[in-house]
């Protein structure tokens, strides 16, 4: 199972996870990202908080009018993998939800970043969202100092972009030296910066903003997930039920075609009931997917 590690320093809560993609998958995703960059229609003119010289900032991938996911299957899997981690494995006390609750985090925005030599991000937070994050696909290995290309979270009294070397090296501020496959997820109000790097190596990542939505659920996720949720609410229809002398089996079929059975040991009428399948019931089925996981992920 994929888990989030939590690093708490003063009032910082930073969650660390991994995409767990194998080398071939990362390469295929990066190849598709360069193709997306070359299609000028996918370039964002605003650049948001980035100071970009020759880098790239994409439009919102979650825009349903975009055809990115249908054209680029590995970027589709990348987005869906992030949603799988956020939906199935991520929790924080700052966001109040439980296993059997129908609502979940809804990723509203997702965008690709390619940061090239001297590109950086000014101090900022992500207003109007609950949870934000960045997942790293390729990082710069050549460095003038250790913090080149790093992600640094600022305290309320830290407002300067250039930090003194003694602060950078003291570890007094939470500093992420990114690695390929790594994901960093945090409360959106946390102010942070991305330090510039000075090599000719591209730093490539994908970032997102999410809100908790108690009306949002697995069936509404875009693009359609390849994965199975760890909790699920389902309204039973007559055609779903197979009756046996001492039990009833409900055949549950998800939007993506994945299906499984839920058994009840009574003969009462089930039509119209909403059943809540929890983590203990669905966890044994987590290997179900519409893709061959062994082709895309590191073996565990």
CB atoms within 10 A of CB 297: 19
Q: Region of 169 please: left (phi>0), alpha (psi -120 to 50) or beta.
A: alpha
Same-domain check for residues 114 and 243: no
Q: Is residue 282 part of a domain?
A: no
pLDDT at residue 6 in the model:
62
pLDDT for 97: 54
Residue 284 domain-assigned? no
Domain extent, residue 124, equals 5-220
Same domain, residue pair 28 and 73? yes
Tell me what pLDDT residue 59 has.
93
What is the C-alpha radius of gyration for the chain, rounded to an integer number of angstroms? 21
Q: Which residues of the chain have pLDDT under 70?
A: 1-3, 6-12, 46-48, 93-102, 156-172
Would 94 be classed as within a structural domain? yes
Q: Which pLDDT value is given to residue 52?
A: 86
Structural domain includes residue 188? yes
Q: Secondary structure of the chain in the HEC alphabet?
A: CCCCEEEEECCEEEEEEECCECHHHHHHHHHHHHHHHHCHHHECCCCCCEECCCCEEECCCCCCCCCHHHHCHHHHHHHHHHHHHHHHCCCCCCCCCCCCCCCEEEEEEEEEEEECCCCEEEEECCCCCCEEEEEEEECCCCCCCCCCCCEEECCCCCCCCCCCHHHHHHCCCCEECCCCCEEEEEECCCCEEECCCCCCCCEEEEEEEEEEECCCCHHHCCCCCCECCCCEEEECCHHHEEECCCCEEEEEECCCCCEEEEEECCCCCCCCCEEEECHHHHHHHCCCECCCHHHHECCC
CB 79 within 8 A of CB 36: no
Residue 80 sits in the same domain as residue 205: yes
**Cα→Cα distances 178→51, 57, 231, 265, Å:** 19, 19, 31, 51
Q: Same structural domain for residues 120 and 178? A: yes
| Claim to verify: residue 172 and residue 243 sit in the same structural domain | no
The answer to whether residue 23 sits within a structural domain is yes
Examine the fold and report which residue of 178, 195, 220 is the final residue of a domain before the chain moves on. 220
Looking at the structure, do residues 38 and 168 belong to the same domain, yes or no?
yes
pLDDT of the residue at 5: 72
Q: Are 154 and 192 in contact (CB under 8 A)?
A: yes
In a domain, 225, yes or no: no
Q: Are 216 and 178 members of one domain?
A: yes
Query: Do 148 and 12 share a structural domain?
Result: yes
Asked if residue 129 lies in contact with residue 108, where contact means CB atoms within 8 angstroms, the answer is: yes
Residue 9 within any structural domain of the chain? yes
Residue-wise pLDDT for 94-124, tens only, equals 665 555 456 789 999 999 999 999 998 888 8
CATH number at residue 11: 2.60.120.620
Q: For residue range 187-215, list pLDDT tens digits in order.
A: 898 889 999 999 999 999 999 999 988 88
Same domain, 190 and 240: no
Question: Do 71 and 137 fall into the same domain?
Answer: yes
How many domains are there within the chain?
Answer: 2
For residue 226, is it within any domain? no
By the 8 A CB rule, do 250 and 261 touch? yes
Task: Say if residue 270 is in the same domain as residue 131.
Answer: no
Tell me: do 28 and 118 sit in the same domain.
yes
């Amino acid at each position: 199972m994929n888990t989030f590690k939590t690093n708490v320093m003063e009032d910082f809560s930073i969650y660390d996870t991994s995409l767990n993609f194998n080398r071939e998958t990362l390469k295929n995703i990066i190849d598709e990202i360069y193709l997306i960059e070359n299609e000028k229609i996918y370039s964002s003119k605003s650049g948001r908080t980035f100071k970009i010289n020759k880098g790239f900032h994409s439009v919102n991938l979650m825009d349903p009018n975009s055809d990115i996911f249908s054209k680029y299957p590995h970027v589709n899997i990348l987005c869906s993998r992030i949603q799988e981690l956020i939906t199935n494995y991520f929790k924080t006390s700052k966001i109040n939800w439980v296993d059997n609750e129908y609502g979940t985090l809804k990723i509203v925005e997702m965008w690709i970043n390619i940061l090239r030599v001297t590109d950086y991000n000014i101090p900022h937070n992500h207003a109007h969202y609950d949870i934000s994050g960045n997942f790293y696909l390729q990082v710069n290995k050549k460095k003038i100092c250790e913090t080149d290309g790093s992600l640094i979270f600022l305290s309320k009294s830290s407002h300067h972009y250039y930090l003194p070397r003694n602060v950078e090296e003291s570890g007094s501020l939470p500093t992420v030296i990114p690695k390929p496959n790594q994901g960093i997820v945090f409360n959106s109000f946390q102010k942070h910066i991305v330090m510039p790097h000075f090599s000719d190596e591209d730093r490539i990542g994908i970032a997102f903003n999410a809100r908790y939505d108690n009306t949002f659920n697995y069936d509404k996720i875009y693009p359609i997930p390849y994965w199975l949720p760890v909790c699920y609410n389902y309204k039973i229809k007559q055609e779903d039920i197979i009756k046996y002398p001492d039990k009833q089996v409900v055949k549950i079929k998800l939007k993506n075609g994945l299906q499984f059975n839920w058994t009840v040991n009574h003969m009462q009428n089930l039509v119209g009931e909403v059943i809540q399948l929890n983590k203990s019931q669905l966890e044994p089925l987590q290997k179900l997917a519409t893709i061959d996981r062994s082709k895309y992920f590191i073996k565990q």
